[in-house]
Amino acid sequence: MSALDDTICAVATPAGEGGVGIVRVSGPQAFPIASNIVRLRCAKSLSEIKPYQLYLGKFLWDQLQAQEKITEDSSVVLDEVLVVIMRGPRSYTGEDVVEVHGHGGPLVVRAICEALTQAGARMAEPGEFTKRAFLNGRLDLTQAEAVLDTIQANSLHSLKLAQEHLQGGLSGIIRGHRDALVKLLAHVEAEMDFGEEDIQFIEQRELKEKLRNMLRAIEILVESSQEGRIIREGIRTVILGRPNVGKSSLLNAILDTDRAIVSNIPGTTRDVLEESVMVDGVMIRLFDTAGLRESTDALEQEGMSRAEAAIQQADVLIMAFDQSQELTEQDLGFIKQYNQKPRLMVLNKQDLPPKVTLENVQVHVKQCETLSEFETEYVQASTVSGEGIEELKLSLKTLAVGKRHEAGDSVLVSRLRHKVLLQQAGEALHNALAAIDETQSAECVALELRVALQALGEIVGVVTNEDILDQIFKEFCIGK
Ligand SMILES: Nc1nc2c(ncn2[C@@H]2O[C@H](COP(=O)(O)OP(=O)(O)OP(=O)(O)O)[C@@H](O)[C@H]2O)c(=O)[nH]1
Ligand SMILES: [Mg+2]
């Protein structure tokens, strides 16, 4: 992506037909360039009109005379438009911005863009408007990422989380740690300068306590990342179990549609089937899988290895049992084998005479519980009568997200980039503390503090490089 001295344009609304199609122009020449293609009814030029107000006008384009000043006589009216200007720095990008609101036809917006590029603008790259907002200091990096999260939000909770970050919830905390760290580093460095004279600029006890508190706060942020990611991306929930216990029926019942094929022939489901459903503001991504059993059928084996892969990626497991049949060795094997995730034990087919009770399953879960730090919940359900299906959905949500975010008292980290950098910062603080304990030189301590500072700086974008920026902004759509 190039520097900030050119003027960029792009369609800001989704492709296809719609009520309105908006083309956005940003850069030092935004007003003169856009003036070439619109004529306002009030006859003023774009640089003369009031910002943040819509003006009625026409989009005029004469391809042959595009380089000359267009008059209504010599050019073709292609649409009736509304135009709004925003003067930098009080705009999204921090630059002069023009938005042309035309009718939402693919041809209209494309023609507006072509006319703008003929008049001197350049087509924007993905995320370039937001990148400019970042480079011009309108947003920091976590906020820019939160813009993307807002656009991609798939549930009310993920939207809320994105907005918390956009409002600076996370950056405020990170900046607080950075500021504190800068001060501590200054003390340690001053000690290096005057080391010979044995002057202590900060009590070692105080330094250690401050570093320890910061380390703990950073660890809490890292710990929140699992929950944050789940809220941002949805809860990956895999339904597993023996063939014929009713996994696909459960998927259908949760979705309240006839999505998956159900039959009394064991081994019906082969591929992994994914569907999403919203539960209480959180997106649940459900994966129905092939029943797990010994099989020589190549197709079924492939289905089972896909099921295994899905299980490894899951946030939560639904382990389905048929309570009208005795628990089999296989059932018990699953309980033991897949105990490294939060799981929901579903005793299905409650409409049939019981052979298995909740207690029976609990006994087996208890036996392997000592090996697992993960929670287990139980639900009795029937896909025929609908019993337990609502309860099942809510249990899933609680298992995956917990109550913390709903209480609204903590900021969650939701991106892997942030988590990795926080871990780096935490490790450096840990090393700094160890260096102090081992009475290593102040230089060693300072070195670690600088590593932590660098990592925290990268999160908010105080320290950055072009590769990181490209990586982040290429995820955006064009026009944002
Ligand atoms: N009575 C009763 N039958 C059920 C219930 N749930 C599923 N079934 C029946 O159990 C059989 C198997 O259901 P599926 O949903 O296909 O089972 P599955 O676990 O997906 O099976 P595979 O895909 O072969 O692994 C079908 O005949 C369903 O109609 C239930 O709650 N009660
Ligand atoms: Mg199935």
Predicted structure pTM score = 0.79
The verdict on residue 15 lying in a domain is yes
Torsion-angle region of residue 3: left (phi > 0), alpha (psi -120 to 50) or beta? Answer: beta
Query: Could you tell me the residue range of the domain that residue 283 belongs to?
Result: 234-407
Of 247, 250, 262, 334, best ligand 1 pocket probe by most atoms within 8 Å of the beta carbon = 262
Q: Looking at the structure, do residues 287 and 365 belong to the same domain, yes or no?
A: yes
Angle, helix 141-152 to helix 156-166, in steps of 10 degrees: 160
CA of 345 to the centre of ligand 1 (A): 16
The verdict on residue 471 lying in a domain is no
CA of 383 to the centre of ligand 1 (A): 8
Q: Please say which residue of 91, 114, 140 terminates a domain.
A: 140
The verdict on residue 367 lying in a domain is yes
Q: Looking at the structure, do residues 173 and 304 belong to the same domain, yes or no?
A: no
Q: Looking at the structure, do residues 242 and 380 belong to the same domain, yes or no?
A: yes
3-state helix, strand, coil in the chain (%, to 5): 45, 15, 35
Residues sharing a CB contact under 8 Å with residue 111, sequence separation 6 or more, in sequence order: 59, 61, 78, 79
Q: Please say which residue of 93, 117, 140 terminates a domain.
A: 140
- Under 8 Å between Cβ of 82 and 54: yes
Torsion-angle region of residue 44: left (phi > 0), alpha (psi -120 to 50) or beta? Answer: beta
Q: Looking at the structure, do residues 245 and 97 belong to the same domain, yes or no?
A: no
For 360-424, give the DSSP string. HHHHHHHHHHTT--S-EEEEE--TTT-TTHHHHHHHHHHHHHTTHHHHT-S-----HHHHHHHHH
Q: Looking at the structure, do residues 421 and 391 belong to the same domain, yes or no?
A: no
Query: In DSSP terms, which residues pair with 57 in a beta bridge?
Result: 40, 81
Establish whether the linkage from the previous residue to 89 is cis, with ω within 30° of 0. yes
Residues sharing a CB contact under 8 Å with residue 433, sequence separation 6 or more, in sequence order: 208, 211, 212, 215
Q: Looking at the structure, do residues 113 and 160 belong to the same domain, yes or no?
A: no
Q: Looking at the structure, do residues 85 and 158 belong to the same domain, yes or no?
A: no
The verdict on residue 472 lying in a domain is no
What is the pLDDT, as a whole number, of residue 1?
A: 46
Cβ(266) – ligand 1 distance below 6 Å: yes
What is the pLDDT, as a whole number, of residue 409?
A: 56
- Under 8 Å between Cβ of 108 and 78: yes
* pLDDT tens per residue, range 379-392: 999 999 999 999 99
The verdict on residue 478 lying in a domain is no
348 CA: nearest ligand 1 atom: 31
Q: How many domains in the chain?
A: 3
What is the pLDDT, as a whole number, of residue 477?
A: 85
- Under 8 Å between Cβ of 70 and 62: yes
What is the pLDDT, as a whole number, of residue 474?
A: 85
Residue 235 is encoded by which pair of tokens?
């809860």
Cβ(380) – ligand 1 distance below 6 Å: no
What is the pLDDT, as a whole number, of residue 198?
A: 59
Cβ(387) – ligand 1 distance below 6 Å: no
Share of residues in the chain with pLDDT > 70 (%): 92
Mean pLDDT of 145-160: 91
Cβ(323) – ligand 1 distance below 6 Å: no
Q: Looking at the structure, do residues 389 and 334 belong to the same domain, yes or no?
A: yes
Ligand located closest to 242 CA: 1
320 CA: nearest ligand 1 atom: 19
Residue 46 is encoded by which pair of tokens?
């774009």
For 260-297, give the DSSP string. S---SSTT---S-EEEEEEETTEEEEEEE-PPP-----
Q: Looking at the structure, do residues 260 and 379 belong to the same domain, yes or no?
A: yes
Helix (H) or strand (E) holding 79: strand 76-86
Pairing relationship of beta strands 8-11 and 122-123 according to DSSP bridges: parallel
The CATH number of the domain where 98 resides is what?
3.30.1360.120
471 falls in which pLDDT band (50, 70, 90)?
Answer: confident
Q: Looking at the structure, do residues 328 and 443 belong to the same domain, yes or no?
A: no
* pLDDT tens per residue, range 120-140: 999 999 999 999 999 999 999
Mean pLDDT of 296-312: 92
CA of 350 to the centre of ligand 1 (A): 12
pLDDT over 80 at 71, yes or no:
no
Tokens 């029937």: give the residue: 382
Q: Looking at the structure, do residues 186 and 320 belong to the same domain, yes or no?
A: no
Cβ(385) – ligand 1 distance below 6 Å: no
347 falls in which pLDDT band (50, 70, 90)?
Answer: very high
The verdict on residue 3 lying in a domain is no
Q: Please say which residue of 125, 140, 155 terminates a domain.
A: 140
Q: What is the mean pLDDT of the chain?
A: 90
Q: Looking at the structure, do residues 257 and 376 belong to the same domain, yes or no?
A: yes
* pLDDT tens per residue, range 9-44: 999 999 889 999 999 999 999 999 999 999 999 999
- Under 8 Å between Cβ of 327 and 242: no
The CATH number of the domain where 453 resides is what?
1.20.120.430
Mean pLDDT of 149-176: 93
What is the pLDDT, as a whole number, of residue 457?
A: 95
Cβ(24) – ligand 1 distance below 6 Å: no
Ligand located closest to 245 CA: 1
241 CA: nearest ligand 1 atom: 19
The verdict on residue 352 lying in a domain is yes
Tokens 């720095």: give the residue: 89
- For 34-73, b/e burial (b = at least 16 CB within 10 A) is bbbbbbbeeeeebeebeeeeebebbbbbbeeebeeebeee
Ligand located closest to 268 CA: 1
Picking from 27-36, 359-368, 370-379, 453-462, which range would have the lowest pLDDT averaged per residue? 370-379
CA of 290 to the centre of ligand 2 (A): 6
pLDDT over 70 at 242, yes or no:
yes
The verdict on residue 468 lying in a domain is no
* pLDDT tens per residue, range 76-103: 788 999 999 999 999 999 999 999 999 9
Tokens 């990148």: give the residue: 131
